[in-house]
Amino acid sequence: MKVNSTFKLEKINHRYFAFDGGTGNIFEISEILYEILLNRNEKLTEKFTVEEIENAEKGLLVAMNNGILSEQNLLLRTYQKIGGKNVHSLNTLFLNVAQKCNLKCSYCFGKGGSYGLQQEMMSIDTARRCVDYWLKNIEEKKQNIVVSFFGGEPLLNLEVIEFVVQYINSKKQSINGNVKYMITTNGTILNNSIIEMFIKNDFLVSVSLDGISKIHNKNRAFASGKGSMDLVAKNTKKLLAHISNLNCQITLRREDIPFLEEAVTALWEMGVDKVYSNIVFDKNEIYQEKDYKELKFQTEILSDLMYQHLISGSKNIYGNIFDYMQNLHTRNYAINCFVWKEKIAAFASNGDAYSCYRLVGENDFLLGNVRQHDFTVFSKPFEKQKVAQCQNCYCQLYCGEGCPCENLVYNSDINIPAEEWCEKNKILFDISLRLYLKIKVNEPDLFRKLCKYWEENR
Ligand code: SF4
Ligand code: SF4
Ligand code: SF4
């Protein structure tokens, strides 16, 4: 018997599991089913009788007739059901308050902060209009809404950030839900009023810090050429003394992948509990088989380290894997790409709105300007399409069938998944699924605790 379906198998300590990529279910299965699904016929006949094999195959057929290991294309249906055109739930406001930057990072996707547009600061008037539009359109029953400041370097425009926070706070009573403030900063600008604003408003602060000088200073330098590591590390430590809601984001070029584990560990040692990383995507960044092997190797080391940390009660977390495990547990499918959903407004400094903050400056993704009398972000020109190459991929539900932005960079088409994206995603998915199951099998008490945490913090 041959099963052509979208599943992923795992064996942990003589227990067998199948992740059903069509439905997102994780089943514990028998050894015989595991061998059947692996299509290892020689093993089957070595270990089991003909009768046992026939019974197991019959059972599998019944399951498949009931939609188990036979569902396909659920992602698109999920989008259509809860992420479709008519859902107006503008729950995230992205404000590019400073379309300029004091660093000249080698891998900047925002072209030095300007996104190829004019280098400018958002004015108070534009910020007020953006907030007013957003407040008017938040879905009433929405519980958690997010305001995210980005740039360039957003803290170059502290005045407008402070205005927005104070303005939204003054209207909090008319908002039916919690407002969460977020900022992504390069960590070079810090003073007491910034710290006070972060503390008072419980900001989630994400500092771009590449962990170790040899990669950070090479990639994240000031215009003078001087690396920014010492300053950013000093500011990050200062922030950590005041706020706990802080994570660091490491960005790696192709040649830096072998330093991933070293960089994450250095940040843990600095006192940062949650560390994320991402790999640069750019037309000039061409990845090869050996780069993916190295990425897998590094991510596996981080998975092993995190397993030990979780067992020992340490808070040092590699966010990429931890969040993926949470998504697996809470079935948080990747249906939040802003390009397909009408739940975001990403405003450039002049009030132009784009489908995604990474697409600022891309004319094809310009939705209009907040000053237009007929302005709306609810008539997006893009609709999620069926992506042929994803239909038999087991990680479709958690990958989202690619990032339109990365697709555009590598394939010049938002609908054609970039191979680079697939490779990275499958590495992360496989390692996260394995760690999730490893904890479930080997550490049931810890697993229960984590599940509780994931459910409470979804
Ligand atoms: S800090 Fe951010 S916006 Fe500024 S140059 Fe670096 S990557 Fe670009
Ligand atoms: S998946 Fe890509 S295009 Fe979609 S919101 Fe994220 S970065 Fe933007
Ligand atoms: S984009 Fe790639 S990894 Fe994602 S579902 Fe499609 S084929 Fe799979």
**CB of 28 within 8 A of CB of 17?**
yes
Q: How many residues does the chain have?
A: 458
Farthest CA pair distance, the chain: 77
**CB of 294 within 8 A of CB of 288?**
no
Q: What is residue 86's predicted lDDT score, i.e. its pLDDT?
A: 46
pTM, full prediction: 0.92
**CB of 391 within 8 A of CB of 374?**
no
- Ligand 1 centre to CA of 151 (Å) is 8
- Closest by CA to 367, choosing from 383, 348, 384, 385, is 348
- Of all protein residues, whose CA lies closest to atom 8 belonging to ligand 2? 356
Per-10-residue mean pLDDT of the chain, 458 residues long, equals: 73 94 89 85 81 88 79 67 55 92 93 88 97 84 82 96 96 84 98 96 97 97 96 98 96 97 98 97 92 98 98 97 96 80 82 90 90 83 79 87 90 91 95 98 97 92
- Closest by CA to 274, choosing from 191, 192, 202, 209, is 209
Choosing from 76, 422, 428 the residue with most ligand 3 atoms within 8 A of its CB, the one to mutate for a pocket test is 422
What are the extents of the domains in the chain? 1-71, 86-330
Whole-angstrom Cα Rg for the chain: 23
Q: What is residue 62's predicted lDDT score, i.e. its pLDDT?
A: 85
Tell me yes or no: is domain 86-330 CATH 3.40.1360.10.
no
Q: Is the CB of 404 under 6 A from ligand 2?
A: yes
In single-letter form, the type of residue at position 213 comes to: S
Cα 64 to its chain centre, rounded Å, is 32
- Ligand 1 centre to CA of 267 (Å) is 20
CA distance 213 to 456: 37
Q: Rounded to the nearest 5 degrees, what angle is found at the Cα of 243, between the Cα atoms of 445 and 103?
A: 115
CA distance 416 to 236: 39
- Of all protein residues, whose CA lies closest to atom 1 belonging to ligand 1? 186
Q: Is the CB of 334 under 6 A from ligand 2?
A: no
Burial of 38 (0-12, 13-18, 19+ CB in 10 A): middle
Tell me the torsion sign for CA atoms 413, 417, 420, 425.
Answer: positive
Q: What is residue 390's predicted lDDT score, i.e. its pLDDT?
A: 86
- Of all protein residues, whose CA lies closest to atom 4 belonging to ligand 2? 337
Other CB atoms within 10 Å distance of the CB of residue 46: 9
